[in-house]
């Protein structure tokens, strides 16, 4: 097997989090008198962290102090409701179990807050992941597209970045993998279209977890 560790994005890759993200963001927006966004608008805006999601959902020119207040309200609310409807995509648990059985170290890396990433990983994938890493800028771990979260996960697994495969569903994942010196596998069941991923430079595409499993376990040097 070519890769010594597999790192997975969370939203749109291993977990379908869209409805909980949409509901929490709309609740926060309503709390401050702003209109709601559609599910499809949320789909297009997620992937760059909570602040960016809210920023894209507010009218252009909204002052930063208003955004800061909404974000401060949103973060604890979303953490409390992050698992209301969230669930793994079909075939993901089986994929992780197969890779784990093959002796492959696994991690989840996300732009979600670190606490939420760890909690969701423990709930949905107990015993399958060696580590879960989220954004923790206060601790010096910047969100994607900075490579910090991927490099943190690789170091924790004791694997060189070039020996890792990063699996994601967005243009941010493609860019981050490149900056970290990792190959990127782009999945097509998530929040972005193939066309959007191709425009970002994606080269490896997978329609199902079963296809991805075959690629990882059967590819030779």
Give the catalytic positions in this structure.
Answer: 9
CA distances from 36 to 23, 29, 30, 73, 110 (A): 9, 7, 7, 16, 25
Distance CA(3)–CA(177), nearest Å, equals 14
Q: What share of the chain is helix, strand, coil (3-state, %, to 5)?
A: 50, 15, 35
The two three-digit tokens of residue 144, written as one number? 């994607």
**141 strand-pairing partners:** 136
Rg (the chain; Cα; Å): 17
Q: Is the peptide bond before 145 cis (omega within 30 degrees of 0)?
A: yes
For residues 167, 169, 172 and 174, what is the CA-based torsion angle, rounded to 10 degrees? 50
∠ CA 167-170-176, nearest 5°, is: 65
């Amino acid at each position: 097997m070519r890769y010594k560790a597999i790192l997975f994005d969370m939203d749109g890759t291993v977990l379908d989090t869209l409805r909980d993200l949409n509901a929490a963001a709309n609740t926060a927006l309503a709390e401050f008198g702003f209109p709601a966004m559609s599910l499809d608008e949320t789909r297009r805006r997620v992937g760059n962290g909570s602040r960016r999601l809210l920023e894209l959902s507010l009218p252009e020119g909204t002052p930063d102090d208003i955004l800061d207040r909404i974000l401060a309200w949103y973060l604890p609310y979303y953490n409390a409701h992050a698992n209301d409807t969230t669930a793994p995509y079909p075939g993901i648990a089986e994929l992780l179990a197969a890779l784990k059985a093959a002796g492959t170290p696994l991690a989840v890396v996300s732009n979600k807050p670190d606490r939420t990433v760890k909690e969701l990983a423990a709930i949905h994938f107990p015993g399958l992941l060696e580590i879960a890493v989220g954004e923790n800028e206060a601790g010096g771990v910047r969100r994607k597209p900075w490579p910090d979260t991927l490099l943190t996960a690789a170091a924790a697994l004791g694997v060189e970045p070039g020996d890792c495969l990063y699996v994601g569903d967005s243009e941010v994942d493609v860019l981050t993998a490149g900056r970290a010196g990792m190959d990127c596998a782009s999945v097509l069941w998530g929040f972005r279209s193939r066309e959007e991923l191709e425009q970002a430079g994606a080269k490896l595409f997978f329609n199902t977890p079963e296809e991805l499993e075959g690629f990882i376990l059967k590819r030779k040097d």
